[in-house]
Amino acid sequence: MPLFSVMLACTLVCFVALTGGLLLAVMQRQLSFLIPWLVTLAIGVLLGDAFLHLLPEALALTSSIETLFGWLLFGLALFFVLEQGLHWHHHSLPHQAGEPMLQHFGWISLAGDALHNLIDGALIAASFLVDPLVGWTTTLAVLLHELPQEISDTAILVAAGATLKRAIKLNLMSAASVFIGALLVLLLGNYFSLPLGLLLAITAGGFIYIALSDLLPLIKAPKCGWQLIPQMAILCLGVLLIDSLHHLHWHSH
């Protein structure tokens, strides 16, 4: 069992999550200016990831398009119910004294990212069980895919009211779910397989919900028509970035 290699690969994924936050920390003086643009980029990243990466992968692992869209709809409903529950019980959410309460869409983003990282861990472990070379190429694809995702996730948490330090810590905790996915495959893979197609579709539904329901309203309407151009350019950049990394992932197999 390639336990050491899988754990090393998962540690690298967590390191990338930390790196995303540290990159923002370096630019902390410009953070107030950057956050609105990073939120716009995050919308493109989340939508691009859902439609160009997660859903095609889920379709390849499910029996029919009807099944795929059924679980996608379930994912949308699940994250809606989860967000409403967090909204109703926001006073009971844990937070440190002296820090503002994290808005509910920040917790929703964390939940979606944790599920995404759990799936990445399962894919990494399954790849190493096939062949070490396949395992490391899959890990490389995940790392390249995760960097823009983690920068976006940290920016979302800051936009939700977290300090940059707290956002980095929460994002790192969310990234640690990669170990759970990997260990489930390594320890229980001989008895049953994770329903990866189902989980991918639910994650896609969560990403679509976060992008359109929570993040899109945060983008201020442009005061004049020409200001819409850079907004659309940044959003499209997020989509193209994920699309390019998806093709890299595809060609690595």
pLDDT tens-digit profile, the chain (253 residues): 688 999 999 999 999 888 878 888 887 777 777 778 888 888 888 898 889 888 988 898 888 899 999 999 999 998 888 877 766 655 444 545 455 677 888 888 898 889 989 988 988 898 788 778 877 877 877 886 677 778 888 888 988 888 888 999 999 999 999 999 999 988 887 777 778 888 889 989 988 998 898 888 877 666 656 667 888 899 999 888 877 766 665 544 4
Task: Tabulate helix, strand, coil % of the chain (nearest 5).
Answer: 85, 0, 15
According to the model, what pLDDT value does residue 12 have? 94
Region for residue 98 given its phi and psi (left: phi exceeds 0; alpha: psi -120 to 50; beta: otherwise): left
Confidence (pLDDT) at 220: 67
Cα separation, 19 vs 24, whole angstroms: 9
Amino acid 225: pLDDT = 62
Contacts (Cβ under 8 Å, ≥6 apart) of 34: 24, 27, 155
pLDDT at 68: 93
* Sequence spans of domains, the chain: 3-27+57-90+100-218
pLDDT at 91: 46
Q: Which residues contact 54 (CB under 8 A, 6 or more apart)?
A: 200, 201, 203, 204, 207
Note the pLDDT of residue 89.
53
Q: What is the DSSP letter of 219?
A: S
- pTM score > 0.85 for this model? no
Q: What's the pLDDT score for residue 93?
A: 45
The answer to whether 247 touches 50, Cβ cutoff 8 Å, is no
Instruction: Find out whether 64 and 207 touch, Cβ atoms under 8 Å.
Output: no
